[in-house]
Amino acid sequence: MRCAALCLAALLAAPAVAQDYSGLCMTPANYQGGAMYDHEISPAVTCDAIMAHWTSSGNTLAGYDFSVGLHCPLESYDVKNVVNIVASYCCGTGDAASRRSACWADYSHVCATPANYQGDAMYDHEISQAVTCDQIMDSFTSSGNNLAGKDFSSAIYGACSAESYLVQETVNIVASYCCGTGDAQRSACWRDYSYVCADPTRWTPSAEWEAASASNGNTAASCQKAMEYSTSPGSGHVFEGYEFVDASSAAESCTTPSAIEAVRAVAAKCCASGNSVCSDTVDSATLGGRVASAVGVVSVFAVLLGFH
């Protein structure tokens, strides 16, 4: 976005042509064409001048009409980013709300508790340069990305279990950076799997399900992550569609041989006691005549989860 000296000279020398760029701002009346803009350029130019530059042929906002409101949700990240930066100089003079651009979005419901969302917090998960939480959400919700078309301004993610694992995982990772610390970090997609254990208080979500290795991209998988993956729609695994939010829903998983084996495998690694919600005594008809060893159970579930 750095403007070269020749580009600046052209901006400053260009004749004044009246253009309406007020649609840049969420509240068009807040647009100030005579305000000064100096983001990564020197000397500063007026907001009208920088908008004339960005909307000229070959530049990021070429072809956009800012005399009317801009519908931003599915615009590219580059468009959103330029609009947001320009608006921070050219919209309003008071509080942050007055400086919001037409592309500003409320992402607070990425958090289980929306009030915990911190748009200015920094996010650097698997990217070389940290960006703000608002910026990474602008990117993820842009066309072609993991959360494209998703609206986080309201609690549509109260039923996140209906979303794909990719969506859930993206929301969870963002929340770990953008929703505070401790329990506040829980995302709208966070779920309680503690009732997989005979004693829910013995659930250890951060315990390691699988160690990092070349076969999994050198990324360790926690018990929480393993359960999120296996219960997500389309996973094709034995836990797909199951919930473990209370004793009753967890007990429903103890009805088929494969599910019983899977529950016990999880408990062996993820419950401090090692005891699962499924009774230790299961009749041979239920198990189909199979009795798996503790080692065998863990191996079976590792395959079921697809982490091996």
Band (pLDDT 50/70/90 cuts) for residue 177 is very high
Residue 296 has pLDDT above 50, yes or no: no
Q: Report the 10 Å Cβ neighbour count for 104.
A: 21
Mean pLDDT of the region 191-219: 87
Condensed to tens digits (0 to 9), the pLDDT of residues 20-44 reads: 999 999 999 999 999 999 999 999 9
Band (pLDDT 50/70/90 cuts) for residue 216 is low
Residue 11 has pLDDT above 80, yes or no: no
At residue 74, the pLDDT reads: 76
Comparing 303 with 69, the larger pLDDT belongs to 69
At residue 303, the pLDDT reads: 39
Condensed to tens digits (0 to 9), the pLDDT of residues 74-128 reads: 789 999 999 999 999 999 987 888 999 999 999 999 999 999 999 999 999 999 9
Considering 67-71, 227-231, 266-270, the range whose residues carry the highest mean pLDDT is: 266-270
Residue 163 has pLDDT above 90, yes or no: no
Q: What is the mean pLDDT of the chain?
A: 83
Which residues lie below 8 Å from residue 85, measured CB to CB, with a gap of 6+? Answer: 1, 39
Condensed to tens digits (0 to 9), the pLDDT of residues 247-277 reads: 898 998 898 899 999 999 999 999 998 999 9
Band (pLDDT 50/70/90 cuts) for residue 156 is low
Residue 53 has pLDDT above 50, yes or no: yes
Give me Rg for the CA atoms of the chain: 26
At residue 213, the pLDDT reads: 75
